């Protein structure tokens, strides 16, 4: 692993503010229509894929002993993003339903772009915020998730996914040979129930019932109701429809990201429902410089699962000998994941190579592929 490097200046943090570029692009689409409505998605999937090709990989690592006080300019973008995103969503709903001149197709294209922002940026930032101990940061994470109607993701991610990634108990781990659309339907069916069970189990251990006021699902429901009400007030029933549409796009983009992060990777089963500890090898890693700017180092996912409490500026990258590597950054990979045959052709050989590298002693993977291994004993 490369030597640690110091960080902390405004200049070093500025590339991670690339998300603000979405604001003028989406607003331009609302005002001018036409091809302008496609600019924001191109900014995500096109421009940053091209920038990855130009800027290459960033294999240097920050000093993990950097004090949090030196991370202000990195944290600031995540702290201001909720008001930015709320103003963007509800402002655009108000504008296009009351004063805009967009056609129906243009409105759908525009709010697809809004969903790319609320899912690709908003949920990514919510993910960073909900991992922190600060009440303010956790609340901001909850508010961001409410604008995509996916509040249960916090419970599912913290209480299930991080504990049981790479096992049958984690619904967000994509199985080997499982296409994205099948994965998406399975996640929508199983993850809300798993999130609820995880919170009920925690309440039970504290001697409380499932409907106790401490259950965060009360907060989730209230915040999502307010988010829906705000959409109706901003744009009536059409505004509500546009809000629901952007939320669906955002959720799909989130689950595409979940899909590529652990596709086909499985922790060793130790018997009696026990599994090995989570290691960098259990997440796909990507060191592509530009897309890590946009996604605040989410692609250094191997280290995030290895050290979940590490803030995004301090996340480490790994050599191929320690963690499996994606061939492209997330923007390109999520686009490829929507076409299952193409995805399998690209990724299945890499999964098989991962198995040979890290688990050469396991000859029969049929149980791991079919999901027939026992669930961890203490899973929700």
Per residue in 144-201, pLDDT (tens digit) is: 999 999 999 999 999 999 999 999 899 999 999 999 999 999 999 999 999 999 999 9
pLDDT of residue 365: 87
pLDDT digits (tens, 9 = 90+) for 94-145: 999 998 789 999 999 999 999 999 999 999 999 999 999 999 999 999 999 9
Nearest of 113, 120, 99, 122 to residue 26 by alpha carbon: 113
User: Is 372's pLDDT higher than 90?
Assistant: no
pLDDT surpassing 90 at residue 214: yes
Lowest mean pLDDT: which of 96-100, 125-129, 265-269, 281-285?
Answer: 96-100
CA distance 18 to 289: 12
Average pLDDT (344-369) is: 92
Q: Given this model, what pLDDT does residue 377 score?
A: 64
Asked if 35 and 109 touch (Cβ cutoff 8 Å), the reply is no
The rounded distance, in Å, linking the Cα atoms of 35 and 254 is: 25
Q: How large is the average pLDDT for residues 271-300?
A: 96
pLDDT of residue 379: 52
Q: What is the pLDDT of residues 293-302, one digit of tens each?
A: 999 999 999 9
Q: Which residues contact 4 (CB under 8 A, 6 or more apart)?
A: 61, 62, 63, 64
Percent of the chain exceeding pLDDT 70 equals 97
* Higher per-residue pLDDT: 325 or 376: 325
What is the rounded distance in angstroms from the CA atom of residue 70 to the CA atom of residue 212?
A: 39
CB atoms within 10 A of CB 344: 17
Beta-bridge mates of residue 62: 5
Buried b (16+ CB within 10 A) or exposed e, 197-214: bbbbebbeeeeeeeeeee
Task: Render pLDDT for 35-69 as a digit per residue (tens, 0 to 9).
Answer: 999 999 999 999 999 999 999 999 999 999 999 99
pLDDT of residue 99: 85
Whether 72 shows a pLDDT value over 70: the answer reads yes
CA nearest 77: which of 157, 168, 136, 14?
14
| Residue found by looking up tokens 């197709």 in the block | 105
- Between the CA atoms of 317, 323, 328 and 333, what dihedral angle is there, to the nearest 10 degrees? -110
Q: What is the mean pLDDT of residues 207-230?
A: 97
The C-alpha atoms of residue 128 and residue 77 are separated, in whole angstroms, by 11
The pLDDT-based confidence of 378 (bands split at 50, 70, 90) is low
Contacts of 83 (CB under 8 A, 6+ apart): none
pLDDT at 272: 86
pLDDT confidence tier of residue 3, bands split at 50, 70 and 90? low
Which contacts of 190-196 are long-range, i.e. CB under 8 A and separated by 24 or more positions? 191/152, 191/153, 191/156, 191/160, 192/152, 192/156, 194/156, 194/160, 194/380, 195/152, 195/153, 195/155, 195/156, 195/159, 195/160, 196/152, 196/155
**Helices 22-32 and 104-117 meet at what angle, rounded to 10?**
170
Q: What does 308-329 look like in DSSP terms, one character per residue?
A: TTS-GGG-----TTTS-B-SS-
For position 374, what pLDDT does the model report? 81
Residues in contact with 172: Cβ distance below 8 Å, sequence separation at least 6, in sequence order: 156, 157, 160, 161, 165, 187, 191, 255, 258, 262
The single-letter DSSP state of residue 185 is H
| Most distant CA atoms of the chain, gap in Å | 65
360-379 burial: b if 16+ Cβ within 10 Å, else e: eeeeeeeebeeeebeebeeb
Mean pLDDT for the chain overall: 94
Q: What is the pLDDT of residue 4?
A: 60
pLDDT confidence of residue 6? 61
């Amino acid at each position: 692993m490369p030597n640690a490097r110091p960080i902390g200046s405004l200049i070093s943090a500025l590339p991670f503010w690339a998300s603000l570029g979405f604001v003028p692009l989406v607003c331009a689409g609302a005002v001018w229509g036409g091809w302008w409505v496609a600019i924001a998605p191109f900014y995500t999937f096109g421009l940053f894929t091209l920038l990855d090709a130009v800027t290459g990989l960033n294999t240097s690592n920050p000093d993990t002993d950097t004090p949090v006080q030196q991370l202000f300019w990195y944290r600031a973008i995540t702290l201001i993003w909720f008001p930015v995103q709320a103003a963007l969503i509800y402002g655009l709903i108000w504008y296009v339903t009351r004063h805009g001149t967009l056609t129906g197709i243009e409105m759908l294209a525009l709010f697809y772009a809004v969903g790319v922002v609320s899912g690709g940026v908003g949920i990514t930032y919510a993910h960073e915020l909900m991992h922190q101990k600060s009440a303010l940061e956790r609340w901001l994470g909850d508010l961001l998730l409410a604008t995509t109607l996916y509040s249960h993701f916090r419970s599912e991610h913290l209480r299930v996914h991080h504990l049981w990634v790479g096992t049958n108990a984690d619904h967000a781990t994509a199985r080997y040979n499982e296409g994205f659309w099948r994965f998406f339907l399975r996640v929508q069916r199983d993850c809300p129930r798993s999130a609820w069970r995880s919170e009920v189990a925690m309440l039970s251990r504290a001697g409380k019932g499932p409907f106790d006021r401490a259950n965060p699902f009360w907060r989730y429901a209230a915040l999502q109701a307010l988010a829906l009400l705000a959409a109706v007030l901003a744009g009536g029933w059409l505004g509500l429809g546009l809000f629901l549409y952007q939320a669906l796009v955002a959720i799909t983009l989130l689950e595409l990201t979940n899909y590529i992060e652990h596709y086909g990777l499985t922790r060793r089963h130790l018997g009696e429902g026990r599994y090995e500890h989570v290691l960098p090898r259990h997440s796909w890693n990507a060191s592509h410089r530009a897309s890590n700017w946009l996604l605040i180092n989410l692609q250094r996912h191997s280290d995030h699962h290895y050290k979940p409490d590490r803030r995004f500026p301090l996340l480490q990258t790994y050599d191929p000998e320690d963690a499996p590597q994606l061939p492209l950054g997330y923007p390109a990979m999520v686009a490829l994941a929507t076409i299952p045959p193409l995805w399998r052709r690209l990724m299945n050989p890499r999964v098989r190579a991962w198995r040979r590298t890290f688990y050469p002693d396991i000859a029969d993977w049929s149980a791991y592929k079919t999901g027939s291994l026992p669930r961890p004993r203490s899973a929700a």
